[in-house]
Chain A
Amino acid sequence: MTRGDKLLILLILASSLLSGYFLYFHNSNKDASHQAVISVSGKIVQRVSLSDSTPSQHFRINGKVGETIIAVAGRKIRVENAACVNQICVHQGWIERAGESIVCMPGEVVISIEGVTGVDAVTR
């Protein structure tokens, strides 16, 4: 390995940390209320608000390759069962921070958590 190779590794690590900071920590406020947006092939099919008072519940979503069962418990959401082969989305487990997402590529199902600022609109 030359110096160029090592520099490249450092560069990739740095850009990973930087993008991670902006995508993950920058817009995640643990206290703010969150909303999970579930979409299939780019179309939003369900919105679930995630807060401590959210009851445990399940959703059945029809993805491209079959049914996806999504579980919600309080602030957390996960894919409990999916019809895809590799089950990556199931193994990913619970997510709860704004900016996090679970993507099931074969089923084209996307769950992403969005932060809700608390105000719906500001009037002057």
Chain B
Amino acid sequence: MNMGDTDIKPDIRMVRIALLIALGVSMHLVESMIMLPIPIPGVKLGLANLATLLALYLYGVQDGILVAVARVFLGSLISGLFLSPAFFLGLGGGVFSTIIMGLFMRWRCFTVVGVCIAGAAAHNFGQLLVASLLLKSSAVAYYLPFLLVASIPTGLFTGFAMKPLLLRLKRAGILT
């Protein structure tokens, strides 16, 4: 029985990562259809980030980044935005926020809500950095205060969505 266990475990991880990427891509697409009624570019609910977060909590930073990067690649290929500014913004924001969330996860003084808020702020900040590089202009800095404020409600949203998810994963014994 033990033999079988060790044979199956890496496959389960791969299947779960694949599922999370598929989930991330579909939420990425759903999210691009939802228009938040605020005239600030780059503000999103962070639905797609849920997949990245699950990968982070299940398997750590490396797999979190894998899910984030794969999601942006596939999502932009499907929506026809591959190599467009939106693609680079998503990639920069996604990778930067995953690294920051991985960092905040280690600090015990934060719950998943804090991790999500930090991730949302890092995502918006990373996006602005990429935007200023793409546009070769610092004018985008004007959006920074608005994007930082916006990261609080969106971070709270994903944080409180993650709470029951993590609880269920723990009850099912998937997450230790």
Contact = CB atoms under 8 A, between A and B. Distances in A.
Interface of A: 1-5, 8-9, 12-13, 15-17, 19-20, 23-24, 39, 41-42, 86, 88-89, 91-93, 99-101, 103, 105-106, 108, 110-112
Contacts of A105: 41-42, 85-86, 89, 131, 134-135
Contacts, number: 103
Given A4-B107, A108-B134, A92 B39 contact: yes
B109 A3 contact: yes
Given A86-B35, A88-B40, A4 B139 contact: no
Interface in B112-134: 113-114, 117-118, 121, 131, 134
B145 A17 contact: yes
Interface string B134-149: 1111011111111011
Interface in B78-95: 84-86, 89
Given A1-B114, A20-B145, A91-B39, A103 B109 contact: no
Interface of B: 35, 39-42, 84-86, 89, 107, 109-111, 113-114, 117-118, 121, 131, 134-137, 139-146, 148-149, 151-152
Contacts of A2: 109-111, 114
Nearest to B88: A105
Contact of A12 (B86, B143, B151): B151
27 contacts: A2-B109, A2-B111, A4-B107, A4-B114, A5-B113, A5-B114, A8-B117, A8-B118, A12-B148, A12-B151, A12-B152, A16-B146, A19-B144, A20-B145, A20-B146, A23-B142, A23-B145, A41-B135, A86-B41, A89-B41, A93-B39, A101-B139, A103-B41, A103-B131, A103-B143, A106-B85, A112-B137
Given A2-B114, A12-B152, A13-B148, 11 more contacts: A3-B109, A4-B111, A13-B149, A16-B145, A17-B145, A86-B41, A99-B142, A101-B139, A103-B139, A105-B42, A108-B134
Given A92-B39, A105-B131, A108-B135, A16 B110 contact: no
A114 B13 CA distance: 53
